[in-house]
């Protein structure tokens, strides 16, 4: 009977320790996850979404550099890729936005049609405007 209580105390102690470990991290840190997110797999989804976003941004920079090397005219804010990775496009736009950026010919058709749900937007100098 004594061993049973020792095991219970260890289990409760581990549970309390994990609770404090996961609740003591700052909620402002986008890489911190609560215990419910970890248990349900929601943390895995958030990690994959962040990895996809980071990869799409990195590839967007690569496509921009390639377009510059090839002498592509970026002044109209063209679409650089309708599928830089699954579900992501890369578009060039002006910052602040100009009327030419809203012309369908200068936008990624995969995003406009709903084929892709995320985009990386770089300005004409190759700097990140936003990625969503």
Cα angle value 108/94/110 (rounded, 5°):
5
pLDDT for residue 44: 83
* Average predicted confidence (pLDDT) for the chain: 85
Residue-wise pLDDT for 97-116, tens only, equals 999 999 999 999 999 999 99
CA atoms within 13 A on the CB side of 73: 3
**58, two tokens:** 């990195």
CA atoms within 13 A on the CB side of 26: 3
**DSSP single-letter state for residue 38:** H
Residue 6 or residue 65, greater confidence: 65
Question: The pTM is what?
Answer: 0.70
Residue 132 or residue 13, greater confidence: 132
CA–CA distances in Å: residue 115 to residues 56, 73, 118, 119, 124: 16, 26, 10, 11, 25
């Amino acid at each position: 009977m004594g061993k049973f209580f020792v095991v219970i105390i260890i289990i409760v102690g581990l549970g309390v320790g994990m609770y404090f470990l996961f609740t003591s991290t700052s909620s402002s840190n986008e890489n911190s996850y609560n215990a419910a997110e970890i248990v349900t797999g929601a943390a895995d989804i958030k990690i994959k979404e962040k990895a996809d976003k980071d990869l799409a941004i990195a590839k967007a920079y690569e496509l921009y550099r390639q377009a510059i090397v090839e002498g592509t005219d970026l002044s109209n804010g063209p679409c650089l890729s309708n599928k830089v990775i699954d579900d992501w496009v890369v578009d060039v736009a002006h910052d602040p936005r100009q009327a030419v950026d809203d012309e369908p010919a200068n936008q990624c058709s995969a995003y406009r049609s709903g084929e892709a749900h995320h985009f990386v937007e770089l300005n004409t100098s190759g700097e990140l405007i936003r990625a969503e």
